[in-house]
Each structure stands twice: as structure tokens, then as C-alpha cells.
Chains A and B, each alone.
Chain A
């Protein structure tokens, strides 16, 4: 079964600093990969997705992620953190094709921004 591992359940960065949230997937075949953000008492909002096109994926709010097959990684980055980025971030994986249409989520990383 496919899975994702998010390293670091809590990450703190200073406002204006680089944000790096780590995600590694396990799959023999590169799957679809996603990053979602969740604000308190809200649902999940899609930040970006990798669906086997470009390996560097740009998303909303200045976030981007790079798919690295050799490292089975899909880390999320943002050059300069903003206070509004404080939230919980989830990496998710889904297999290619039809027949198993579901998302498997990582355990999440809570991002705190230090003023």
C-alpha cells in the first residue's frame, strides 16, 4: 500500500525565513502527490499537486514543491514565511489510474511562524 511520511510534526520558522516541510512517499511507481493546508476549524485546501508533468510544481500562496524520484521525496517550500502561513500541512498520495480512488495522508506538520 502506498504511504507518505512527513518528517517533523511541528516546525517553527521566523517570519521572512525559508519554509521547508518534508514529505517522503513509498511507492514502486511514482504516484500522484499533493500538499494540502488546514486552518483551525476548517477543511483542507489544495496547495499544489504533482501528476507526472513538471517535477517542480508551483502552487498557491507562494508555495512550491519538487518531485524527486531518486529520493522518493516531495518537499514543500516557500522562500519567505508570512504570519498567515501558520497552519497544519498535509502531504497526500494517490495511485495512478482508476480502481483505487482515494487519498492517503501523512500525519501532518504544524507550522508556527515566529514574529
Chain B
């Protein structure tokens, strides 16, 4: 069974640009969550989608957005990039809800210059 796939693995963007990250969950999983990991703030929850609906959102500015498609694949978008957005972005896939079990992808390392 294939795991959670995140693409791309590495990304370099310039301040002010926007970026889209992709996450393909484990087959059959309907919940996808996104987390940001930085040395200073640690792992922080961005948002969670279930059956194309955002169920939960963390404390991030509106520049951070996401969506989920009918096949459960998810994308997150960051507009008007800032240097502080440099981070490892992790996607987690769960059958129904994350508080039973979450499987993480390898992450996308975003560097903003």
C-alpha cells in the first residue's frame, strides 16, 4: 500500500511569489491535514480537510489556504511569500479522523529567499 506522497520535495521561491504544494493521501483515507515545521515554532497545525470540506483551521494568516479534491488529494497554497514561511510542510493522512491515526508524508521543504 503506497504511503502519503508529497510533491515537490524541495522548493525555492522568492519573496512575494506564491506556491502550491501537493499531497496524495493513502488510498481510502479521507482526511488530510497540513502542518508547518520550523526550528523556532516547532510543528504547528495549518488545516484539516475531510471529504472536500475544511473541518479545522489553525492560527495562520489568510495567505495560507488549502483545498481537497474528490479523490482526497489535497493542495495547500501560500500567497505573497515571506521569509518566515520557510519551513518543512508536512501532510498527514487519516482514514476518518486524525485523532485515531495519522500517517505523514516526507514533507516539502520550502525555502523563501
Contact = CB atoms under 8 A, between A and B. Distances in A.
Interface stretch (B11-19, B64-72, B75-83, B99-107): B99-107
A67 B4 CA distance: 29
Interface string A99-114: 0111111111000000
A63 interface: no
B107 A103 contact: no
Contact of A42 (B45, B94, B106): B106
Given A101-B48, A101-B97, A90 B43 contact: yes
A76 B102 CA distance: 19
A58 B93 CA distance: 22
A51 B100 contact: yes
A46 B90 contact: no
Interface in A84-101: 90, 94-96, 98, 100-101
B104 A45 contact: yes
B8 interface: no
B91 to A, nearest CB: 8
Interface in A25-54: 31-32, 34, 36, 41-46, 49, 51
Interface in A48-80: 49, 51
Nearest to B90: A43
Instruction: Give the 3 A-B residue pairs with the shortest CB-CB distance, closest first.
Output: A94-B99, A43-B104, A105-B43
Given A43-B105, A46-B103, A102-B45, 10 more contacts: A42-B107, A43-B106, A44-B92, A94-B99, A95-B99, A96-B99, A101-B94, A102-B48, A103-B92, A103-B102
24 contacts: A31-B99, A32-B99, A32-B100, A41-B109, A42-B106, A43-B90, A43-B105, A43-B106, A51-B100, A90-B43, A98-B97, A101-B56, A102-B45, A102-B99, A103-B35, A103-B43, A103-B45, A103-B99, A105-B42, A105-B43, A106-B42, A107-B42, A108-B42, A108-B43
Interface of A: 31-32, 34, 36, 41-46, 49, 51, 90, 94-96, 98, 100-108
